[in-house]
Structure 1
Amino acid sequence: MHSVNLDELIFDVLVDKARVTGPNTWRYKVLMAIADAGDYGATDHELVDLLQAPGGPSNIRPRRNELVESAYVEDAGVKRPTSSGSQATVWRIGSGDRPILTPAFVEDDCLLAADVSAAATGGPQLTQADRLAGEMLRARFALLGRRARKAGAEIGVAVDASVARSGPIQLGLWRSGGDRARFTLGAELDGSGLRLSATLGPGDTGASEADARTQRFRAELASLTDEAIAPIERLVQAGWEVSTTSALGLATFSSARDWLRALVDDPTVAGHISATLAPPEVAKLGEGVAARIGDLLQILSVDAAAETAMRDPVQALVNGLLWDEDRARNLIALARRSKQLLFAGPPGTGKTLAARILAGALADKSRIKLVQFHPTYAYEDFVEGIRPAMTDDREEGSTEEGMALRYNIRPGVFKTLVTSAQSAPGNAPHFLVIDEMNRANLARVLGELLFALEYRGPENEVELAYSGKPFHVPDNLWVIGTMNTADRSVALLDAAMRRRFKEVRFDVDYAVIRRWHQRHTSAELGEEAAARLQRLNDEVIELLDDDRAIGHSFLVRSDLAEVGFETVWHEDLEPVLRDHLLGRTDDLPSLREAFLGSL
């Protein structure tokens, strides 16, 4: 679909070139500012504000006067007070040109639009009269695009618009600076009337980086508060259809929250919000069609909120972890001060998720690496080591098959990420997330990195054990480790290690359970889940300690109402508590009663 600049189309088709000499002239700008104002009209002072004209009304009046003299603009017969208290004349498009420069449509326009669309797809060709009428109809759609840009400015969202220069009579709208392929609005006129729509493109196109961004965008959309997604919910309540389409067909939803959840659950689906105004309704609305598009434009604020959350690390933590803003802001501030963090706490308190979201909020996905430590993890895996490799070497040391066994020094996970960080343009941030950090023998894994992590930069190079090459850790690399404090089978970090990592304590957060279920299931279920877990943990802490408390993530699940609390107890909680109790099963009945008993 070839699109054209709105003003070029309007000027070419609708404007009298004898009276207005070009789309970039002051005359045209004044004319269209008055046309955009519709029946409300505009005063000279308002035109200055609309056009941000230098020199104030004194520069506007000569152009407006020329338009008045040529009958393009007329006195509306009313006055409006200015900021100084004086009365200013209101100007509007002259009566002869008002039908041409007004984005209002009649039933015959819908029939003509259907004929234009059919002709573009191999149907009956248009007569010369219908072809010219179709061009005027397309240009009046461009006027609708100008009204949409004005409506966007009024709600604080910059809007771009385009009209198809051929084919169906269509208007595309999207947020300036936004991803048009990911989130776009549209209006199309045809025989069924005027169809208004918003479309979220699928997040499974095969382009890995673009798909990852789309999935992150969808996740942020679904994590927005009820207040933030209210523009979508208002359209649902007004009768607009919200749906998804995929290879499996069409699915419709009765709430904005359910629709957003479906977009996250299945990256292959495209999302749609739509309404169709029948031809009689289009005719009855007149200039009110622009107001309907203004209703649709409200959801661009939702698009902007999700985009902001993607760029704002505080909002990424708030939306992804359901934290309060102060907690998220404090963690971001700590990450900016310290390049090594240790997230410590009981299992199920969101440590790994927080590390991944924090890294994703501050660095591109391609610059983030996650590794899980375990008891056999070694320096050779993490930094560098000698590894065997079969090579084709027929001249020296070859076998009958022509293959030779050689031993090469191969970089480990950390060294590879450091090399990437050192060569990154603009010192782009890189993150290494080490899950279950305390399960490995850290002195054995890190070796000389104990020094390199604490003293960074090329002036603090160390010599690597195998290659003997100089090595330093750059300032644009963050290391985040997670540690389950309930795990008594491994040694806790020693003092030297703790000195190099700033510890962040993660405890059970019952508010997260309430917030999550309020958004994804029901507030009542969230309250009950939080109350049951808190009662259980009171018993656990009295029997054991804070580090063996049951984390809130065990009850953050969408199927909780279906499976029930008893299933959660048997499948998830009882096995964990048996480990914590080290065979003291006599305490299990009281813990079970604390969780499953009547509230």
Structure 2
Amino acid sequence: MLTDTHQQALVDRIRDIGHAEAIRRFFGLLKELIDIVNLPNGDARLAFTLRKDARSISANVNFFLALRIVKPSRGEVEYWLTIKRSCQEQLSGIQELGFIPLTDRSDYVSVVIGHSDAHLLQNLTIRKCWEDCLPELTETAKRGPHVARHNPDIYEAAENEAFLTDLLRLADDPTLGERSLNGHAVEEPDANYETQPKRPDQPHNLILFGPPGTGKTYALQPYLREPNSSLITFHPSYSYEEFVEGIRPEVVGGQMNYKIRKGIFYKACLSAIQQAGYGTLADCLNDNPDSRARKLQKAPAHYLLIDEVNRANVSNVFGELITLLEPDKRLGAANELWVTLPYSQERFSIPVNLYVVATMNTTDRSIALLDIALRRRFAFREMLPDPSVLPVIEGVDLAQLLRTINERIEYLLDRDHQIGHAYLTLVTNHAELCYAFRDRIIPLLQEYFLNDWPKIQLVLGDNPLWGKDPELRLIWVRKKYTNAAATKLFGELPDSLDEVVTYEVNPHLTAGDFDRVPTDAFVKIYSK
């Protein structure tokens, strides 16, 4: 029989809450809290408690509630995460959240998340507010001791996945209490999944690539509507430490400490395995392979969306995890592998129900320049301009206009520098067409051709031999400098004897005087 009163009380409370998946999620959060506050089991500033009058498990830091799981008398299981009151406004747009002040005058409030909205536990803003609040709680003056109230087995269950699993089994089957928690292993019954979710019909690792304005980021919107998704945008200084895990300095009590912080990729993998009923990655890795494969194959998909993937040094960002991206090397697959992370020394792997979908602008970098190891592990889907979605606006055939411009760009440069249909999809009248060319298309052409104005004229049909009347051109010749004109300008003839020509964008277009920019200025780009 169980004789440890702490263990028995914890088992009884887990049974009261009656939701194994929610309990695992809570203890996963509690493990993160322990890592952040960096206080040992039994420290006077900690109190991991079970309230007698409520079906809840709470983590308190200096008598401030920091984290709680509670099963109300009516309704679903709830997670309470404490944040600074000043953070509440940042979360006001998330309608699913509730807020409960710790006290009327407290600087802190609890964010309340129902289990049906548990995906919000991985919301980046919520997590940052919570994680930033925890070190502040440890800096307040000690208000303990907590020893009389602290249940050390709650701390142990957060640190030891096998111990937590035994507690859950005991809560589920009280007859197992006749055996010691550290005794013989007990087979865990298979999880009861009522339905098997439909897996997406796409590769596990997919990059959408193409010129700007072809709808690559827009194609991520359906994934964002899924409850299980995370979004990140890469940039040139993005690193492995931000993506997977890294050491970050923090000032606590006037002293510099260094804490290991998990990145979005690690958290996405954690969220994915939690869909299978595991609390932590270690819990998943400690399961037997057959059980793990069954659970992960049945679990819903989690999507990690990476916008502008090629703007970062992808090889450095993924590091040693590049091997684990292969579908057959993932947790739950035939040849599953895992590695030991360099900072935390934790075992880590990528679950089979995680899907990575990225976008890549080919004007920034060609696919040919990507690391060959990355290219082998990702499927690539090209997204080209689609002129067919564009209408005729006030006599201007936008579809033919875009086709002609892109054909000329492809001839003069390459297909990676075409202009996407998104540059013209919102155009509904002549003025908006002028805005699109003045503010977006012509500046883009200047960038593409490095201010080589004769080539820009070729793209827009403004070159003399195309036959546009001078007043219809979007790029005007401002002045031609003959030898006589150059001598008059400088007082002598410069070394260069070549004829110099300067250009300008149509002044009426630049000034916003669109009534003086004829419709034919655009029609005659594609029609002589």
Query: What is the TM-score with the length of structure 1 in the denominator?
Result: 0.39
Rg larger in structure = 1
Specify which structure has the higher proportion of helix: 1
Structure with greater contact order relative to length (CA < 8 Å, sep ≥ 6): 2
